[in-house]
Amino acid sequence: MSEELQKGLEGVLVSESSLSYIDGEAGRLVYRGYDIDDLASRASFEEVIYLLWNGELPTAEELSAFKSAMADERAVADDVLDTAAALAEADEKPMAAIRTLVSSLSAEDPDPEAEAEEATLESAQRKGRRITAKIPTVLAAFDRYRRGEEPLDPRSDLSHAANFLYMLTGEEPDPVAEETFDQALTLHADHGLNASTFTAMVIGSTLADLYSAVTGGIGALSGPLHGGANQDVMELLLDIDASDEGPVEYVERRREAEGWRVPGMGHRVYSVKDPRAVILEKKSEELGQSSGDPTWYDMADAIESHFEGAGLVEEGIAPNVDFYSGTVYYQLGIPVDMFTPIFAMSRAAGWIGHTLEYQAENRLIRPRARYTGGKQQTFVPLDER
């Protein structure tokens, strides 16, 4: 057995997967062989979920059946809404709230017999569809409760993206907002074995059910080194806006004083600009131009240009997916602390896809730690210590 320690499992191969491929040096991301640019601009989020879970793009008929099956699953039981209301009342953080709410959804699953061990792919996908369809509903309900408003029933005539924005704001989004949000969902749907996907897979490898895997994924995504960075970026920009300093001055002061890491910059896998950031940057710029307020795009762009000028981008400390997604969501009127839950809403597709793919050829994931503690301690009873 190898004794070589790979802290953070960096570069360690733990399984085979055909869901997504990242070329970190070329700045390329593909889902099931299809370039992320094509999928973001030409496929709907539902089409991308179908692709991730089934390995092939759906026909028009298959997509229509998949979309309506997803839409039929959007509503949640009153008990779940009551939990959302209680969490809002307790001022719970949104990521913690959806972690709890997704976990609670298993109580209303009509397919309790479909435990992973004997589940068919079809029944497991049904469960996955149910979870993916309901996350926007519980998230929007939680946000409305904390604003003192009643949740809105999901609408089955709207796309996954449009229905979420409708349930959140009470208004049907315009086509630009719907398309932008749909693209953002596609861009966040999968990304190899990142920390949250690996967490979901580890849970799935014990043959636990998908609710446990997705709930674990949400927990892992909530940290600032992973999904939490998109909120941190927007808070940074708001902080700069409220200060007397320019973006470059502000960032450099904090980097020098605290050895601070700029959120949204750097990536474990990409050594160049993240291809998702390239697409979201364009969206952020377009939204700024159409609203006539380019403040947020300009500020982010100034920080990126500074990193470029200082040679940091060349060293791989380049914008990642979170750097521009925050400015996109903010310009769509989404509350800042909902950014990471929205990431979860999309990444659930990847968590489920990877968990089901791994379970099909399952082997319990069980690494080891090199033991550095004592081995010959003599036990001293409590009253003698």
Residues contacting ligand COA: total by CB under 6 A: 14
Whether 301 is catalytic: no
Answer for the pair 321, 277: CB distance below 8 angstroms, yes or no: yes
Nearer to ligand COA, 166 or 351 (CB): 351
Applying CB under 6 A, the span of 106-114, 156-164, 258-266, 342-350 interacting with ligand COA comes to: 258-266
Site for ligand COA in 196-225 (CB under 6 A): 225
Q: In the structure encoding, which two tokens stand for residue 324, read together? A: 């521009």
Q: Which helix (H) or strand (E) holds 213?
A: helix 210-221
Q: How far is the CB of 226 from ligand COA (least distance, A)?
A: 6
Q: Which DSSP string corresponds to 308-366?
A: HHTTTTTTT--B-HHHHHHHHHHHTT--GGGHHHHHHHHHHHHHHHHHHHHHHT-----
Residues 321-360, one symbol each (x = binds ligand COA by CB under 6 A, - = not), give: xx--------------------------------------
Bridge partners of 28, per DSSP, are 23
Q: For ligand COA, which residue has the nearest CB? A: 266
Closest CA to 303 of 338, 242, 269, 254: 254
Residues 115-154, one symbol each (x = binds ligand COA by CB under 6 A, - = not), give: ----------------------------------------
Cα separation, 63 vs 134, whole angstroms: 19
Instruction: Say which residue the tokens 């089955």 belong to.
Output: 156
317 touching ligand COA, by CB under 6 A: yes
Q: Which helix (H) or strand (E) holds 82?
A: helix 78-89
Whether 79 is catalytic: no
281 touching ligand COA, by CB under 6 A: no
Applying CB under 6 A, the span of 106-114, 169-177, 262-270, 333-341 interacting with ligand COA comes to: 262-270
Residue of 263, 288, 326, 341 interacting with ligand COA (CB under 6 A): 263
Question: From the candidates 267, 274, 306, 354, which is the catalytic residue?
Answer: 267
Nearer to ligand COA, 186 or 320 (CB): 320
Residue of 37, 261, 308, 365 interacting with ligand COA (CB under 6 A): 261
Whether 188 is catalytic: no
DSSP assignment letter at 27: T
CA-CA-CA-CA torsion sign (137, 138, 139, 143) = positive
DSSP assignment letter at 114: -
320 touching ligand COA, by CB under 6 A: yes
Closest CA to 303 of 324, 289, 282, 321: 324
Answer for the pair 287, 180: CB distance below 8 angstroms, yes or no: yes
Residue of 40, 184, 265, 348 interacting with ligand COA (CB under 6 A): 265
Residue of 30, 52, 229, 318 interacting with ligand COA (CB under 6 A): 229
Residues acting as catalytic residues: 226, 267, 322
What residues make contact with ligand COA under the rule CB under 6 A?
A: 225, 229, 261-268, 317, 320-322
